Amino acid sequence: MTLPQLLLCLSLSVLCISSKPTEKKDRVHHDPQLSDKVHDDAQSFDYDHDAFLGADEAKTFDQLTPEESKERLGKIVSKIDEDKDGFVTVEELKDWIKFAQKRWIYEDVERQWKGHDLNEDGLISWEEYKNATYGYIL
């Protein structure tokens, strides 16, 4: 092997070695947060209330008397118990929490849509989007 070939191989080797990504990618799909609140059962159950009821419904429950709260929770538990056996399984509870979170997402999308659809035609034009997003900047 001649000196130029050796230098070329050495240069390519250095290039390949230095082009390797230095950061390790996280390949795990993490579940989205169920609430913005800190999850600390020793201090507060706000996180659990948000996850179980949804943020808006949890705010409503905070305003109820203990009797009204117990009555409403009883109705919710009846909805969670899909097989109507009188018990809530872990799967039924997970399904309910997913349902509550999806409902919140859909409601938030609807609210955002209304904020961008300025002429209320059910469609968002590029002009409406720019005005709602950037306002007077553009």
Supply the pLDDT for residue 9. Answer: 76
87 assigned to some structural domain: yes
54 assigned to some structural domain: yes
Q: How confident is the model at residue 20 (pLDDT cuts 50, 70, 90)?
A: low
30 assigned to some structural domain: no
CB 21 within 8 A of CB 30: no
92 assigned to some structural domain: yes
Angular region, 122: left φ>0, alpha ψ -120 to 50, beta rest: left
Dihedral over alpha carbons 125, 131, 137, 138 (to 10 degrees): 30
pLDDT tens digits along 94-137: 998 898 888 888 988 999 898 888 889 999 999 888 888 887 55
- Regarding pTM above 0.85, the answer is no
pLDDT tens digits along 31-72: 555 556 565 666 667 777 777 777 777 788 778 888 888 888
66 assigned to some structural domain: yes
109 assigned to some structural domain: yes
70 assigned to some structural domain: yes
Number of domains in the chain: 1
**CA atoms of 67 and 72, how far apart (whole Å):** 9
Q: Which range of residues forms the domain containing residue 83? A: 35-137
